[in-house]
């Protein structure tokens, strides 16, 4: 099979779809210095505010999706899952094997993407919404003709908005249940912690600030120290103290079981939808 390497120092990146995820990735790529804005393009959006957002940090906004594909070496499909088939089929004549194709459409499998495009140089990426603040948890899976170099290029791009792992596509439903839906579980936890603080007498603004920062700090400790979360928990919980008393209440309420069940239920729903 003839190889068409992507020129790492000069390649152009195009987004089909100008929504929030495309904005997050494009902005992260520019802010991190991975690519200058002059090498990124998307197409005009029905909402003029979206055009203004991309132009505000230097991304070229072209009239049509066809123009984006023609001018790009790497094309990221960031449209809604229900329209991705139609969009890929419309662009199929332009999707040559010289181009590296990427999809962030949830639930849409590589085998379908490759069939619609007539091109198996495809990479599927599952990011999550904290990409908007540079803290995404993303996972990618390589299609049949995607090379290790292609994978490294995409890891570099999505690494600009958080952390990225590589995994077999068969795991993507579980990934959706954990990191795709997981931010919502954490928002509920932050809200509940803040409500607890208010119930204990704290002003609402202070309680919410403390809850948010506490979750952020704990997540950073787990990520950066490499310690098992059980060990980190034990480090906080002194004998007969306040923390172990609170943990006892969480255990009585089935806290860990509820979170585990949420991930499993979301995974099951992802399989049904896909």
Left (φ > 0), alpha (ψ -120 to 50) or beta: where does 99 sit? beta
Burial of 64 (0-12, 13-18, 19+ CB in 10 A): exposed
Q: How many CB atoms lie within 10 A of CB 125?
A: 22
* 20 is known to lie in a ligand binding site: yes
* 19 is known to lie in a ligand binding site: yes
The DSSP letter of residue 105 is -
**Residue 75 · residue 99 · CB < 8 Å:** yes
Strand 136-142 with 122-126, pairing: antiparallel
* 21 is known to lie in a ligand binding site: yes
* 254 is known to lie in a ligand binding site: no
Strand 40-43 with 13-16, pairing: parallel
Q: φ, ψ for residue 222 (rounded to 5)? A: -65, -40
* 18 is known to lie in a ligand binding site: yes
* 16 is known to lie in a ligand binding site: yes
Annotated binding residues, written as ranges, equal: 16-21, 44, 65
Annotated binding residues for NADP(+), written as ranges, equal: 16-21, 44
Annotated binding residues for NADPH, written as ranges, equal: 65
């Amino acid at each position: 099979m003839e190889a068409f390497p992507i020129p790492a120092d000069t390649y152009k990146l195009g987004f089909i779809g100008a929504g929030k995820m495309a904005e997050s990735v494009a902005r992260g790529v520019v802010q991190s210095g991975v690519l200058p804005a002059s090498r990124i393009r998307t197409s005009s959006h029905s909402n003029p505010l979206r055009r203004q957002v991309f132009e505000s940090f230097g991304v070229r906004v072209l009239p049509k999706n066809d123009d984006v594909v023609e001018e790009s070496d790497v094309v990221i499909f960031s449209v809604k899952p229900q329209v991705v088939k139609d969009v890929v089929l419309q662009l199929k004549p332009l999707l040559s094997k010289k181009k590296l194709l990427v999809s962030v459409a949830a639930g849409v499998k590589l085998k379908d993407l490759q069939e619609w495009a007539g091109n198996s140089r495809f990479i599927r990426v599952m990011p999550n919404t904290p990409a908007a603040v540079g803290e995404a948890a993303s996972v990618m899976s390589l299609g049949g003709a995607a090379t290790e170099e292609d994978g490294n290029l995409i890891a570099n791009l999505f690494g600009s908005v958080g952390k990225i792992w590589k995994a077999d596509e068969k795991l993507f439903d579980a990934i959706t249940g954990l990191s795709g839906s997981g931010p919502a579980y954490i928002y509920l936890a932050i809200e509940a912690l803040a409500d607890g603080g208010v119930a204990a007498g704290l002003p609402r603004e202070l309680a919410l600030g403390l809850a948010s920062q506490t979750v952020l700090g704990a997540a950073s400790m787990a990520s950066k120290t490499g310690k098992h979360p059980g060990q980190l928990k034990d480090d906080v919980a002194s004998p007969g103290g306040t923390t172990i008393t609170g943990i006892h209440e969480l255990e009585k309420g089935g806290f860990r079981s509820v979170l585990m069940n949420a991930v499993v239920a979301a995974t099951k729903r992802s399989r049904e939808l896909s």
